[in-house]
Chain A
Amino acid sequence: MDYIVKRTAFAIVTVFVAITLNFVLFRLLPGNAVSGLRCQHCTKQFRESIVKQYGLDKPKLQQYVIYVERLAHGDLGTSIADNRPVWDDIRTPLVNTLPMIVVGTVISIIIGIISGVVAAWRRGTAADSANLWTALAFYAMPTQWIALLVIFYIAIPLGLPASGIESNTLGILSTPSTWAVFSDRVSHLFLPALTLGVGLYGEYSLVVRSSMLETLGEDYVLTARAKGMRNWTIVWKHALRNAMLPLVTLIALSLGSIVAGAIVVEDVFSYPGIGLATIDAISKRDYPVLQGIFLILTMSVIVANYIADLVYFKLDPRVTE
């Protein structure tokens, strides 16, 4: 109980640290967030109205109070580039990114578990070292580079869609059926998700391998073997279950790296998700949007860490620190 209280307090404080960091970083801009703006309708009056709206002419502490109050009401501010609420600007990209991230993570987990289990079962063989070096190589490759290779060597030769979230031609002649829209989306989502999965699986594979080696040496595995159980049953029913524990927390904790991978993958595939929105905001110097994205991503990672802490506690109540 004490542990849960401690972790909850830590998560709440971290959220405030993130909010404050978000506030401070953007106030460190030379001049203010308005002078660096690049847009067509950025006249002098417009700039002044922005300064008023954000209270940039008030003392810093007061600005901070206003900022936190607005956040508490779910107000992330207004985009400077298109003058819409930031939340409206980033909601659609977030919704687009989510399935891509989920499918990518599932792909990485599946590849990671299968390759890790095979490597552990055949330890010391050529298959084991081949897996080790493949996993290491994918671990070391920049994700955006994997994405380029996937487009160059898979998408183009096979004629798979490698850009955007749906075909331009969809729905031009007639209203497409739900199924047509769905399959079109899936075909556009597959390669970015595969890239993300391949870029992430290396770490998972090696973790599964080492924790499988650990459990395969346990007494209950020996007992199962003595009972004459099939290898397959021993691996999947006995060893893997316990070997999964480190992987569960690793996945929850690696949300930060999943997000990082997604940002560049989306850029290469022109997939209209949060990564593309980030790059768009960078090029337009749209700081309120950038600030909103940073806050949303940070919050998700903090929440995921918090959940990982609780899951870990549930799985292994011995942890107190």
Chain B
Amino acid sequence: MSEVVQVAEAAPVAAASTTRRGFVRHVMLGQKVALVGAIVLLFFIVIAVIGPWIEPYSTTTQVGKVYAPPTGKHVLGLDDGGIDMLSEVIQGARVSMIVGFAGAAVAMLIGGGVGLLSGYFGGKTDIALMRITDYFLVIPDVPLMIVAAAVFGRSLVNVILIIGVIYWTSTARLIRAQVKSVRERVYVKRARALGGGHGRLLWKHITPQVAPLLVANTVLTIAIAVFAETYIAFLGLEDPSTISWGKLIQNSLTGGAIFHKAWWAIIPPGLCVTIVILAATMMGQAMEDALNPRLRVGHLSVRRFRLRPLRGRLDSE
């Protein structure tokens, strides 16, 4: 009798972890690093959103001596133009997070779209799309980014588009593999036999199945996009008036922070980038591991820890 009760109690828990919200909770609570990653990301998102209201000083007016050290009034000191560093780091969060999320979203749309079409239709469509993906994968990302940014101009929208257009490839491959297996499941075949059109099958039956994996992969792409932004800003290919973390790192070099021994101008922006990338990597990887059975087997057997390279576009599979 007591056994039956136990089973009855255990069942709803198992069922909950198969629904999507239950799944996220399951991953977050199961792996502490994922939870920490999510909290850190959320923290920076909040900073980015409420930035303009919490910046203690304006980022366009000089408030003190050039490279004045941190004091109670200016917690992170002043930069090469005598501007409050804390305010700049907060504003940098805004731009870097926008580029990170929007760039990753563009990559998600392109990669997800290509992966869905390629995996669903198979045949010639698949071959053609995968060839394009292969070629894109081989061309080195940073030189391409430099050329594209130099050619298309320096607005923030361009930076976002360039990042999205460059980093969609591994998403496309991952989604394609997943779609190929989903397509063969019985309920999809039944829906097709009942006369469901391609659009309906793709949107109603296949996309919901691959969506969690797509989201997990996009979280990983956020790390790559934030990293890429620092490159673009550092190479002077961003709108000169925007303040991003990448731009602040560049400022500390060109403004001679090293000569002035102004560690407060060098450390904060780079540290923020590092923390956000770590957080996104932790969270994305934990989600991907939980979703992709193939990775999970590898994970369990060797306690393998994979990293998706931030520069270069090595295929993760």
Contacts and interface: CB of A to CB of B under 8 A. Distances in A.
Interface of A: 10, 13-14, 17-18, 21-22, 25-26, 28-29, 123, 132, 136-137, 139-145, 148-149, 151-152, 156, 202-203, 206-207, 209-210, 213-214, 217, 250, 253-261, 263-264, 267-268, 278-279, 282-283, 285, 287, 290-291, 293-294, 297-298, 301-302, 305
A88 to B, nearest CB: 20
Interface of B: 134-135, 138-144, 146-148, 150-152, 223, 227, 230-231, 234-237, 246, 249-250, 252-253, 257-258, 263, 266-267, 269-270, 273-275, 277-278, 281, 301-307, 309-314
A152 B266 contact: yes
Contacts of A14: 134-135, 138-139
Given A203-B309, A256-B311, A264-B234, A140 B139 contact: no
Given A28-B151, A145-B273, A260 B237 contact: no
Contacts of B305: 132, 206, 209-210
Given A144-B253, A210-B305, A213-B303, A279 B142 contact: no
Q: What is the predominant secondary structure among interface residues of chain A facing chain B?
A: helix
A140 B311 CA distance: 10
A123 to B, nearest CB: 8
B258 A156 contact: yes
Contacts of A26: 147, 151
A301 B138 contact: yes
A256 B231 contact: no
Q: Please indicate which of the listed interface residues B150, B152, B277, B314 has the most CB atoms of chain A within 10 Å of its own CB.
A: B150
A137 B312 CA distance: 18
A148 B310 contact: no
B147 A25 contact: yes
A256 B142 contact: yes
The 9 closest A-B pairs by CB, nearest first: A257-B312, A145-B270, A256-B312, A260-B142, A256-B140, A257-B311, A140-B277, A260-B311, A210-B304
Nearest to B263: A152
A148 B134 CA distance: 35
B310 A139 contact: yes
B135 A250 contact: no
Given A260-B312, A282-B236, A282-B237, A142 B302 contact: no
Contacts of B246: 142
Contact of B235 (A202, A255, A264, A297): A264
B285 to A, nearest CB: 10
A123 B150 CA distance: 47
A285 B146 CA distance: 12
Given A137-B274, A148-B258, A297-B140, 6 more contacts: A148-B252, A156-B258, A255-B312, A264-B231, A278-B146, A282-B146
Nearest to A135: B307
Contacts of A261: 311
A301 B140 contact: yes
A283 B305 CA distance: 40
B259 to A, nearest CB: 9
Contact of B141 (A141, A144, A260): A260
A116 to B, nearest CB: 11
B142 A142 contact: no
B313 A256 contact: yes
B138 A305 contact: yes
A259 B140 contact: yes
A181 to B, nearest CB: 27
A294 B143 contact: yes
B278 A21 contact: no
B77 to A, nearest CB: 15
Contacts of B306: 206, 210
Contact of B151 (A10, A18, A25, A143): A25
Nearest to B265: A148
Contacts of A28: 151-152
A17 B135 contact: yes
Nearest to B135: A17
A14 B133 CA distance: 11
B258 A151 contact: yes
Contact of B148 (A13, A25, A210): A25
Contact of B231 (A260, A282, A297): A260
Contact of A253 (B230, B273, B278, B314): B314
Contacts of A22: 147
